[in-house]
Amino acid sequence: TGIGVPADEMQYLFKKFSRGKDTGRLHASGTGLGLYVGKNIVDAHHGRVWVESDGEGKGSRFIIELPIEQPAN
């Protein structure tokens, strides 16, 4: 559920200080760092994070995968 993510914004979601174009209209506050920091934490644990959305007004899914075991160095 939710407002969804337009296809042209997907590539920017996990970038530092990225905020969607609707943040002003929705009166959403924030620095644009949350998804960036979250992705860095997941990356540090050798995981993956991504978003799936069918478009505006159709909600979004944020998926996090973490390995069960740490890879050998």
**Which of 65, 19, 20, 14 lies closest to 38, judged by CA?**
14
The whole-model pTM stands at: 0.76
The count of domains in the chain is 1
What does the pLDDT read at residue 29?
A: 74
3-class DSSP state of 30:
coil
Asked if residue 2 belongs to a domain, the reply is no
CB burial of residue 2 (10 Å; 0-12, 13-18, 19+) = exposed
Q: How confident is the model at residue 3 (pLDDT cuts 50, 70, 90)?
A: confident
What does the pLDDT read at residue 49?
A: 97
Q: What is the CATH number of the domain that holds 55?
A: 3.30.565.10
pLDDT tens-digit map of 12-63: 899 998 877 665 555 567 888 999 999 999 999 999 999 998 888 888 899 9
Asked if residue 70 belongs to a domain, the reply is no
Report yes or no: 18 and 12 within 8 Å, Cβ to Cβ. Answer: yes
Range of the domain at 47: 7-65
Asked if residue 71 belongs to a domain, the reply is no
What does the pLDDT read at residue 31?
A: 84
